[in-house]
Amino acid sequence: MISESLVDLSRLQFAITAMYHFLFVPLTLGLAFLLVIMESVYVITDKQIYKDMTRFWGKLFGINFALGVTTGLTLEFQFGTNWAYYSHYVGDVFGAPLAIEGMMAFFLESTFIGLFFFGWDRLSKQKHLLVTFLTAIGSNLSALWILVANGWMQNPVGAEFSYETMRMEMTSFAEMFFNPVAQVKFVHTVAAGYVTGSMFVLGISSYYLLKGRDLDFARRSFAIAAGFGLASILSVIVLGDESGYEIGDVQKTKLAAIEAEWETQAPPADFILFGIPNEDTMTTDYAVKIPYVLGLIATRSTDEEVIGIKDLMAQHEIRIRNGMNAYALLQTLRSGDFTEADKAAFEEVKVDLGYGLLLKRYTPNVVDASEEQIRQATLDTIPSVAPLFWSFRIMVACGFLMLFIFATSVYFCARRSALSNRWLLKMALWGIPLPWIAAETGWFVAEHGRQPWSIAEVLPTHLSTSSLASSDVWMSLIGFIIFYTVLLVVELYLMFHFARLGPSSLHTGRYAFEQKENNDVSTSDALLPRV
């Protein structure tokens, strides 16, 4: 049996490295398209200031991008290093979108980002814009493929278990690609990225406006970010991936947990705005409810029900018992000594094999599980409710706060009085962390809500790890924490340094700090001592 501490450490390491990676991804996704917009305006109007904008925001883009690449490498390695059984069990399906992501997206993004920074003097304006555009497309395509992969973890369609190879095998690439969960996730995630990029530019531009410097530069950046941000936050909210929660059993369970819906209500269900979920009594204390709203959001209807946690557990218990049967038949098939009837019987119940595997946590042989162990495994099928309930609400609150910020920004931009509203500018500046909080809590909901599965209904997380010593994972975990902390400090230092410096960092001679002191860094460079 796999030790609990190995599973916990592997999960912790994955959570830390993935969430850390996602500090950088959304900004890359969004800022890339803002650069495309700014540079397009430059190509159309031929106004130098838009080129300066592209180059300055591009500089900050580069600082962020470097860590995105660094931390992305970890994720490509980590399925193999720490989740070897997962890699064996689902690599046939899950590996394909990752490899295609490399060929279709990473190459595009990474090849052209070099030309974005180095090609300004070597390419015509139009060609450089094309390069910027291809970089942006590349980063967005990579989001597409990784979300196809992730969507498959939530709702594994287009694949079937094969007892001969002891793994999931792809049966339809199209079905996997057009997985509705993956598609809504993609739209939701990239739009959230656009929001992040917009909030970043809006907030930093507000800082220059508050300081009263580089006004022309800041005002134009502010206006572009406000417009793009409003459109994006509306997409995030309206096309929010709520619609993805009606598909597949695990998504339904996640929904019930997010809403702390213990009992199935008569449709349309009430929405719990606030309350304290109590896992022991399976009730939500002090609940503040809004009638009908949950039913409307989750099912887009007034007569379909949203199944509650208790009913889901009853269904899961049946499937676990079926899974024990599937596991017994699998053992027969693997032994090589079986009849056609065994094979047919296995085909009947193999959809529940994953539920049987949940018992492996308690008894290696599965088929001899006691009633108590079955009860335990059934309880495991529900992720812990309170963290999901709260994370989801934090995410939504951040979303609506940003909607307010972008909407007021656009309104005052349109009235040409954004500059004079110091409270608006301050709000935009202090609002910079909001998209990151929303993105991280959102991913927490998606991935913690998938527990106890790594692949929904197919492979439990606790079976997915590598056969490693806990001490090895301790070592790597500590290494990651130290390395990542140092990198984050360095990154934030540079980010703050250049954001404060503003477009003066381009050394064009046109911006605030350069007019005051003309003997700046460029001369001190030449004075640098020899190594």
Partner 1 sequence: MILDYETLKLVWWLLVGILLIGFVITDGFDMGACILLPFIGKDDEERRVIINTVGPHWDGNQVWFITAGGAIFAAWPAVYAAAFSGFYLAMLLVLFALFFRPVGFDYRSKITDLRWRTTWDWGLFISGTVPALVFGVAFGNLFLGVPFQHDEFLRPSYTGSFWQLLNPFALLTGVVSLSMLVMHGAVWLQLRAEEVIAERARLAAQISALILIITFSLAGLWIMLDINGYQIVSMPATDAMPNPLTKVVAMGENSWMTNYSLYPWMMSAPILGLIAAGFTLLLTKARRPGLGFVSSSLAMSGVILTAGFSLFPFVMPSSTQMNSSLTLWDASSSHLTLTVMFWAAVIFIPIILLYTVWTYRVMWGRVTLEQIRSNSHSVY
Contact 466, 83 (CB under 8 A): yes
Residue 459 is a binding residue for partner 1 (CB under 8 A): no
CB of 78 to partner 1, least distance (A): 9
| Contact with partner 1 (CB under 8 A) among 15, 16, 18, 69 | 69
| Nearest by Cα to 441 from 9, 19, 27, 16 | 19
Quick one: three-class SS letters along 61-94?
HHHHHHHHHHHHHHHHHHHHHHCHHHHHHHHHHH
Determine the 3-state secondary structure of 429 from DSSP: helix
| Contact with partner 1 (CB under 8 A) among 8, 92, 246, 514 | 92
Q: What is the largest CA-CA distance in the chain?
A: 88
Interface of this chain with partner 1, residues 190 to 219, rule: CB under 8 A: none
Which of 26-34, 166-174, 379-387, 438-446 is the region at the interface with partner 1 (rule: CB under 8 A)? 166-174
Cα–Cα distance, 392 to 81 (Å, whole number): 31
| Contact with partner 1 (CB under 8 A) among 16, 18, 40, 91 | 91
Cβ neighbours of residue 328 under 8 Å, at least 6 residues apart? 366, 367
Interface of this chain with partner 1, residues 171 to 190, rule: CB under 8 A: 171, 173
The number of residues that bind partner 1 (CB under 8 A) is 85
| Contact with partner 1 (CB under 8 A) among 36, 67, 250, 313 | 67
What one-letter code names the amino acid at 211?
A: K
Cα–Cα distance, 275 to 166 (Å, whole number): 44
Which of 161-169, 183-191, 412-420, 453-461 is the region at the interface with partner 1 (rule: CB under 8 A)? 161-169
Give alpha helix (H) positions in 119-177: 125-154, 173-177
Residue 404 is a binding residue for partner 1 (CB under 8 A): no
CB of 349 to partner 1, least distance (A): 18
Cα–Cα distance, 245 to 235 (Å, whole number): 18
Nearer to partner 1, 396 or 494 (CB): 494
Interface of this chain with partner 1, residues 102 to 141, rule: CB under 8 A: 102-104, 106-108, 110-115, 117-120, 122-123
Interface of this chain with partner 1, residues 492 to 521, rule: CB under 8 A: 494, 497-498, 505-507, 521
| Contact with partner 1 (CB under 8 A) among 3, 5, 48, 162 | 162
Which of 243-251, 303-311, 430-438, 486-494 is the region at the interface with partner 1 (rule: CB under 8 A)? 486-494
Residue 479 is a binding residue for partner 1 (CB under 8 A): yes
Cα–Cα distance, 118 to 116 (Å, whole number): 6
Nearer to partner 1, 341 or 531 (CB): 531
Interface of this chain with partner 1, residues 34 to 63, rule: CB under 8 A: 55, 62-63
Per-residue DSSP letter, 285: E
Residue that has been written with the tokens 């209904």 in this structure: 457
Which of 72-80, 269-277, 317-325, 342-350 is the region at the interface with partner 1 (rule: CB under 8 A)? 72-80
Cα–Cα distance, 202 to 199 (Å, whole number): 5
Interface of this chain with partner 1, residues 345 to 374, rule: CB under 8 A: none
Quick one: three-class SS letters along 206-248?
HHHHHHCCCHHHHHHHHHHHHHHHHHHHHHHHHCCHHHHHHCC
